[in-house]
Structure 1
């Protein structure tokens, strides 16, 4: 089977890898450079920020992916020599209401616990002495998303049944007899037996040309990066909707904003000031740390953050794997495995019904 994947972020790259591993001939195209949009810009926490606040559909994908990430990182390192740095640090929620999260954890059998602030300050000495209660989940990891993209790219380049075209914009679909059999692109016509749209925030725009209303829209997020000592922060901390993520080399990411401003992804001084204030509120020593970077990306916003995974009704041959909102990196392994299972007629890893485009499109 020849499969064309439109979109070269983490979702598109991992979809291509899983499909090609099952013997499909895969062509992947991206309008820019691979993985330079949301996949590059995000924080890479391998958990929804507030996992108890999501639907069972998101939870099912998240749990499968969280369990899969360590072996994915190890396999990519072995296959490519590029380490995605799946870094297990645990996650502290500070001054978070506790009843609902703890009930959720008991129901879902996740190891979330309430800790005394004395224990938290011993574990995270850089934390501001301003918090009154904390929840902690061990085992939560973060992945260094630019390196994950680099590893996935290297893995695809090593597969003889995969072709990758960067700087290849898609302008529309080739439709013959009610069937989608390819796309019009800056490289000309590209034909396939199946076309998978995994174009992140741009997915809704692509489908509009078919008269399909896909409720996926760009949602801007801004981040800052600090350079710190390697032992400055040992765990992810989250307070008042903002988080700080440690990397192994001492970099600390702080994010993020949530802005509905179309496809504008210009970093702003207002957001920089707000993020700095949140950073110092959590970790006072960051007031004297060097800001090594400030950037913005566009998330693929969707209703409830539930992605669209499956065939598009009325457009035979057209499939979706998009709309992951704030959790693209978290949900990517499960989403892409589910897409591969469905498209190739295999037993799906989880119930696919909540993600089906049917009944959710305009």
Structure 2
């Protein structure tokens, strides 16, 4: 039986949409408010590797969410595809890391965490990825790493929500601030007027810190720009994801190859630049020389919600009844979304949480 609760979610990226999807069966009404188009910011702009780029370099709090999500993604994609007819394309290719400085640390982490990552001979890598450039000396490989086609994931989530009678997604509806009654946050002010809710969830990506500052709270979430380029190749051109010198190549099922990404602190400016384009092209050709003859069919920039150590804020904001956070996922929003949104739903609905929620609690961190 659905609870008599009206939940307002600020932000219609993957985190906001999946939060709505996970809550819909258990609350009376869910309203998602998005300042632009749903899922058109970092959710659309990212690469969609279903793993942190260097998982062994992260705090165990990020690892816990990543492991849960990696295991859950295939069934989430199947469920969305079955209900909407839009396939998020969770594509399991495996991932090669080349010439890492901290390879020993990576292998030690894999042994400790029980992840299928191991050293491989370079001749085996060239057999598996014939288009790979020369000059690499050593490699490690994890077989079960997938990528999700994030624009399709967004479309699928949006379609699933539009089919739910108790969910409303308002696009082009910017939230300007919060409505308070005493200690309680009971809604938001928008360009279209006041929208009330029993619970208000802030999932506004890189904009979350700015919104929360209106309550006198300092949330250390800031925009970090990333630029990507896209090539179109034959569908069998690249079989695996490869990563070297901080840049990666991701094959989609239809032959599109994503190359990313930059890491820039430029405020809220997300203008693609010629400098980044040339740098990404150079990385692409170094990784895969044949891309020198391929056409760049896309170049864009997005803003990641940067946070300390990349640990998201998930849970209730103390001192502000009715206000919740699910934000600050930095470079791993798509990776961590299934676990973050399940954990969030568990907390809001008072269920047993899937993992220990303590590391993500806003209390003591803002």
Q: Which residue of structure 1 aligns with residue 164 of structure 2? A: 159
SS where residue 21 of structure 1 aligns? coil
- The equivalent position to 1:64 in structure 2, one of 60, 68, 71, is 68
Q: Which residue of structure 1 aligns with residue 232 of structure 2? A: 227
SS where residue 27 of structure 2 aligns? coil
Within a 5 Å distance, the mapping from 1:123-134 to structure 2 comes to 123-134=128-139
Q: Which residue of structure 1 aligns with residue 87 of structure 2? A: 83
Q: Does 1:95 align with 2:82?
A: no
Q: Does 1:136 align with 2:144?
A: no
Q: Which residue of structure 1 aligns with residue 249 of structure 2? A: 244
Distance 1:188 1:218 in 2: 27
Tell me how far 1:105 sits from its aligned partner: 0.3
Deviation per residue, 1:156-178 (Å, 9 max, x gap): 00111101100000111000021
- The equivalent position to 1:28 in structure 2, one of 23, 29, 32, is 32
Distance 1:280 1:321 in 2: 38
Within a 5 Å distance, the mapping from 1:326-341 to structure 2 comes to 326-341=331-346
Distance 1:57 1:39 in 2: 21
Q: Does 1:291 align with 2:296?
A: yes
CA contact (8 A) 2:227 2:261 kept: yes
Tell me how far 1:313 sits from its aligned partner: 1.3
Tell me how far 1:188 sits from its aligned partner: 0.6
SS where residue 203 of structure 1 aligns? helix
Q: Does 1:275 align with 2:280?
A: yes
Q: TM-score, normalised by structure 1?
A: 0.99
Q: Does 1:170 align with 2:175?
A: yes
- The equivalent position to 1:8 in structure 2, one of 9, 12, 21, is 12
What are structure 2's unaligned runs of at least 5 residues?
none
Distance 2:27 2:166 in 1: 8
Distance 2:346 2:30 in 1: 15
Tell me how far 1:21 sits from its aligned partner: 2.5
Distance 1:168 1:19 in 2: 21
Tell me how far 1:129 sits from its aligned partner: 1.4
Distance 2:131 2:25 in 1: 44
What are structure 1's unaligned runs of at least 5 residues?
none
CA contact (8 A) 2:7 2:27 kept: no
Distance 1:266 1:354 in 2: 34
SS where residue 110 of structure 1 aligns? coil
The runs of at least 4 aligned residues of structure 1 exceeding 3 Å deviation read none
Matched residues, number: 361
Q: Which residue of structure 2 aligns with residue 179 of structure 1? A: 184
Distance 2:309 2:25 in 1: 31
- The equivalent position to 1:43 in structure 2, one of 47, 55, 74, is 47
Tell me how far 1:280 sits from its aligned partner: 0.3
Q: Does 1:303 align with 2:332?
A: no
RMSD: 0.6
Q: Which residue of structure 1 aligns with residue 78 of structure 2? A: 74
Distance 2:363 2:131 in 1: 49
Q: Which residue of structure 1 aligns with residue 113 of structure 2? A: 108
Distance 1:175 1:124 in 2: 57
Tell me how far 1:186 sits from its aligned partner: 1.2
Q: TM-score, normalised by structure 2?
A: 0.98
